[in-house]
């Protein structure tokens, strides 16, 4: 099935900025959402409509979408941000997800 492309892993030092990309043709005409998933837990929505944060999500999480690439940025990364991150978009007649990125805080 069709998936959006993400890098498998991103490493970041505490306090630095983590950048996760998500690529796919559908992103040129669709908004992106992003989810955080910690081991053994359900995904949590952290960004919707490309750049909007749900209530309760820290300001250090931000998003953007340009061309066929959406980006999730975590500024001032904390140890608690270590998790898997997935992008998601709508493609014609179904929702599609990214391949997932593991963020490691070293």
Partner 1 sequence: QIQLQESGPGLVRPSETLSLTCSVSGGSLRRSAVYWSWLRQSPGKGLEWIGYIYFTGSYKYNPSLKSRVTMSVDTSKNQFSLNLKSLTAADTAVYFCARDLGASEGFDPWGQGTLVTVLS
3-state secondary structure of 27: helix
Distance separating alpha carbons of residues 17 and 90, to the nearest angstrom? 28
Distance separating alpha carbons of residues 43 and 86, to the nearest angstrom? 9
| 31 binds partner 1 per the rule CB under 8 A | yes
For residue 54, give both structure tokens.
Answer: 């749900």
Which residue from 68, 69, 73, 90 is in contact with partner 1, where contact means CB under 8 A? 90
- Tell the smallest beta-carbon distance from residue 41 to partner 1 (Å): 8
Instruction: Report in angstroms the alpha-carbon separations of 57 from 42, 66, 94, 95, 99.
Output: 16, 23, 26, 23, 22
Task: Give, as ranges, the residues between 32 and 51 that touch partner 1 (CB under 8 A).
Answer: 33, 35, 42-45, 48-49
Which residue from 18, 22, 30, 53 is in contact with partner 1, where contact means CB under 8 A? 30
Residues of the shown chain interacting with partner 1 in the complex, contacts defined by CB under 8 A? 1, 3, 30-31, 33, 35, 42-45, 48-49, 54, 86, 88, 90, 93-100
């Amino acid at each position: 099935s069709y998936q959006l492309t993400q890098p498998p892993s991103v490493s970041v030092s505490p306090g630095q900025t983590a950048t996760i990309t998500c690529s796919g043709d559908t992103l040129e005409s669709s908004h992106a959402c992003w989810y955080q998933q910690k081991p053994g837990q359900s995904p949590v929505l952290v960004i919707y409509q490309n750049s909007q944060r749900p209530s309760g999500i820290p300001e250090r999480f931000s998003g953007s979408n340009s061309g066929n690439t959406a980006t999730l940025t975590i500024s001032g990364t904390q140890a608690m941000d270590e998790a898997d991150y997935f992008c998601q978009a709508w493609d014609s007649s179904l929702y599609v997800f990214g391949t997932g990125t593991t963020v490691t805080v070293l």
